[in-house]
Amino acid sequence: MTLDRILQSQGFGTRRYCGDLVAAGMVEVNGEVCDDPSAQFEVEGLQIAIDGEPWTCHAKAYVMLHKPAGYECSQRPIHHPSVYTLLPDPLRLRGVQAVGRLDQDTTGLLLLSDDGQFIHAQTSPKRKIPKIYEVTTAEPVTEAQVQALRSGVQLDDEPAPLAALACEATGERSLRLTLSEGKYHQVKRMVVAAGNHVVALHRSRIGALPLDPALEPGEWRWLTPEDLAALTRKE
């Protein structure tokens, strides 16, 4: 692909604008200035720098974000900042979308991508991808509550009880809950139905992919090939 098209595909602006950046000598490719917009390169893994700012090119964007509390998973947030403001401009401009949503006060693993097929595969109810949540509760967790969450609790607007794939107490006021669905406020509503109340909620894992412990809240990184393989691996 030509260099101007590569820059456009990475979210650095229109093709004309990107061509002007290259022609002005503001773009380095693999450590050397390239001033030819029509120069051809392979996109995946290409190391570029725009006015000294480094960037690794990817044909498709697959991103892991450690979502902090107080952010909405929406392009048009109502009450809180958008989670997309935590991403650099090129990722936002190339149109990455959250793969599912987390409530504004829920923290943890959030995936984003501009690959529509990937997003559909990860959010399809038919795949029943397990998601693990670390729950902090208002009251001490009882064995009866754990058993109720395992066997199924009835929610007002559901025709049948909803059961967790797995549930275990991890402390006096904490439990680990595994779900394969993503209904509206499901974890919070299930815990209430079991006789307790959620005061903090954190998603720690999607499928076989855990949140990178090196990521602080608000930080992001590209998914590796190993990460992508984990998302398709059945445990």
Residues with catalytic function: 103
Evaluate whether 94 touches 106 at the Cβ level (below 8 Å): no
Largest Cα–Cα separation, the chain: 69
- Distance, in Å, from the CA atom of 222 to the CA atom of 57, rounded to the nearest integer, reads 10
3-state secondary structure 79-138: CCCEHHHHCCHHHHHCCCEECCCCCCCEEEEEEEECCHHHHHHHHCHHHCCCEEEEEEEC
- Distance, in Å, from the CA atom of 31 to the CA atom of 29, rounded to the nearest integer, reads 5
- ∠ CA 72-76-79, nearest 5°, is 50
Residue 62 burial by Cβ neighbours in a 10 Å radius (0-12, 13-18, 19+): buried
| Structure tokens, 60 | 């498709």
Report the SS3 class of residue 64.
strand
- Distance, in Å, from the CA atom of 28 to the CA atom of 4, rounded to the nearest integer, reads 12
Give the H/E segment covering residue 176.
Answer: strand 174-179
